[in-house]
Amino acid sequence: MDRVYGCPIVSCADILVVAARDSVVSLRGPTWKVCLGRRDSTRAWKDLANSTLPSASMDLPALISNFKN
């Protein structure tokens, strides 16, 4: 795993997976090991992210559809 100043490089995908796991655990659900260190990309495109990522106002069916795409 790459490290910068002693910290692992954590991608947006890593943050999403850790947040999902911690949310399930906080509701007394199961836990699982999360491996960190994915790289989303070496570059970022704000317009592409804004047009393809789910919005905070989406309901569950819309989120499921978005992630399937």
Annotated binding site for substrate: 54
Dist. CA 2–CA 31, nearest whole Å: 25
Q: Measuring CA to CA, how many Å separate 48 from each of 12, 21, 42, 62?
A: 15, 26, 15, 19
Annotated binding site: 54
Cα-flanking dihedrals φ and ψ of residue 30, to 5°? -70, 165
